[in-house]
Amino acid sequence: MGFISFSQTLRGCFDCIRTPVSQRVWHGPLNGQALRQIMLIRLLCIFKFKAIVEAGSFRGATTEMLASIYRGKVYSIEHNSRNFGYALA
C-alpha cells in the first residue's frame, strides 16, 4: 500500500489517449453539479487561498477546471494508480 504502480499508471495514460471522451464521466467537473461549481467560484472570489488541494482527481475534470479558473497552485492527489495515469496524461 502507498506506492504507485507504474504499469497501472501507464495503462491510465493509454486509456486517456485511446478514449479521451471518458474524461467527461460523471458529467464534468464536480460531477456536473452546477450549484457546487458556482459555490466554488464564489469562494475563490471571496477568499485568497494560497493553494488548492483536491483529494481524488479521478479523470482530472475538476482539476482541469480549477487550474483554468484559479491563478494559484492547484494540487491533486489520486490513490488509484490507473486514475492517476489518466489524469496525468
Per DSSP, the residues of 45-71 read HHS--SEEEEE--TTSHHHHHHHHH-S
| Among 62, 54, 56, CA closest to 27 | 62
pLDDT digits (tens, 9 = 90+) for 43-54: 999 999 999 999
- pLDDT tens digits in sequence order for the chain, 89 residues long: 456 677 888 898 888 888 866 655 667 888 889 999 999 999 999 999 999 999 988 888 899 899 999 989 999 999 888 888 888 88
0.95 cut: is pTM over it? no
Residues 25 and 87 sit within 8 Å (Cβ to Cβ): no
Which residues does 59 contact at the CB level (< 8 Å), separation at least 6?
22, 23, 24, 25, 26, 83, 86, 87
Query: Can you read off the three cell numbers belonging to residue 38?
Result: 458556482
